[in-house]
C-alpha cells in the first residue's frame, strides 16, 4: 500500500511543470532522439540521487548545517539563471525573419545528459520533499528494503512520465508546431528558467 502512496505523490510532483520538464521538452523538440533520451536519463539519475539522499536523511544534514543548504540554493539558483539567460541570448542572437529557420548547434547526447542531471540537482528543496514523502508513506517499522523500493518507485514513475512526454513531443506534427513558434517558445522557456532561479536565490536566507 505504501508504494501506491509513494507512486501517487511522486506522480503529481513529476507531472507538475518545472525546470526538468521544460528542459526535456526543449531537448525533445530541438535535439536528436539520442539527445532527448540522454537528457531524460540525466533527469532520472538526478531523481535517483535525490531519492537516495532523502531516504538517507540529507534533510537532517541541511538542518544541522544550514550553510550547506544555503550554498546549494545559491548555486542551484545561479545555474538556473544562467540556463535561462543563455536561452534568451541565443533567441536574440539568432533572431530570424518570420518563416526563416533558426540554425543552432545541436546538443550532443553527452551534453544533454549532464544538462538534465545538473538541472535536476540544482534544486535542493527536492531533498526535503523526498524526506517528507518518506516520512508520510513509509511504515513505522520499515526496513532498508522499503526505502529501496520507494526510491525505485520514484525512478519508475519519472521514467514512465518522461517516456510519455518524449513520445508525444517526437510526433512530427508537434515538432512542426514547435519549429514555427521556436523563438517565442525558447524565450518563454528562458524566462521560466530565470524565474525558478530567482525564486531559489530570493529564498536563500
DSSP letters for 7-39:
HHHHHHHHHS--HHHHHHHHHHHHS-HHHHHHH
Give the model's pLDDT for residue 100. Answer: 42
Q: How many domains does the chain have?
A: 1
Residue with grid cell 520538464, as numbered in its chain: 21
Residue 144, judged by CB atoms within 10 A of its CB (0-12, 13-18, 19+), counts as: exposed
DSSP state of 105: P
Give the model's pLDDT for residue 89. Answer: 83
Rounded Cα distance between 196 and 193, Å, is 5
First-to-last alpha carbon distance for the chain, in angstroms, is: 38
Give the model's pLDDT for residue 34. Answer: 92
Give the model's pLDDT for residue 191. Answer: 86
DSSP state of 141: T
pLDDT in tens, 119-165: 998 877 677 677 777 766 767 666 778 888 989 999 999 999 999 99
Residue 34 near residue 109 (C-beta atoms within 8 A)? yes
Give the model's pLDDT for residue 160. Answer: 95
Closest C-alpha among 77, 69, 14, 7 to residue 46: 14
Enumerate residues 6+ apart whose C-beta is below 8 A from 134: 54, 55, 147, 150
pLDDT in tens, 156-179: 999 999 999 999 888 888 777 766
Q: Range of 155's domain? A: 2-202
Question: Residues of the chain whose pLDDT is less than 50?
Answer: 96-103
Give the model's pLDDT for residue 140. Answer: 62
Amino acid at each position: 500500500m505504501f508504494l501506491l502512496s509513494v507512486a501517487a505523490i511522486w506522480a503529481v510532483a513529476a507531472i507538475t511543470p518545472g525546470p526538468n520538464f521544460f528542459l526535456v521538452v526543449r531537448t525533445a523538440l530541438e535535439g536528436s532522439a539520442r539527445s532527448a533520451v540522454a537528457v531524460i536519463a540525466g533527469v532520472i539519475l538526478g531523481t535517483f540521487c535525490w531519492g537516495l539522499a532523502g531516504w538517507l536523511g540529507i534533510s537532517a544534514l541541511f538542518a544541522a548545517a544550514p550553510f550547506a543548504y544555503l550554498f546549494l540554493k545559491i548555486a542551484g539558483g545561479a545555474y538556473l539563471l544562467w540556463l535561462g539567460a543563455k536561452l534568451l541570448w541565443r533567441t536574440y542572437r539568432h533572431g530570424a525573419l518570420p518563416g526563416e529557420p533558426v540554425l543552432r548547434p545541436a546538443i550532443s547526447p553527452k551534453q544533454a545528459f549532464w544538462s538534465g542531471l545538473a538541472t535536476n540537482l540544482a534544486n535542493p528543496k527536492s531533498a526535503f520533499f523526498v524526506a517528507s514523502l518518506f516520512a508520510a508513506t513509509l511504515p513505522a517499522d520499515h526496513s532498508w528494503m522499503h526505502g529501496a523500493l520507494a526510491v525505485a518507485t520514484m525512478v519508475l514513475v519519472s521514467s514512465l512520465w518522461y517516456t510519455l512526454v518524449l513520445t508525444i513531443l517526437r510526433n512530427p506534427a508537434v515538432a512542426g508546431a514547435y519549429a514555427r513558434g521556436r523563438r517565442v517558445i525558447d524565450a518563454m522557456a528562458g524566462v521560466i528558467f530565470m524565474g525558478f532561479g530567482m525564486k531559489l536565490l530570493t529564498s536563500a536566507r
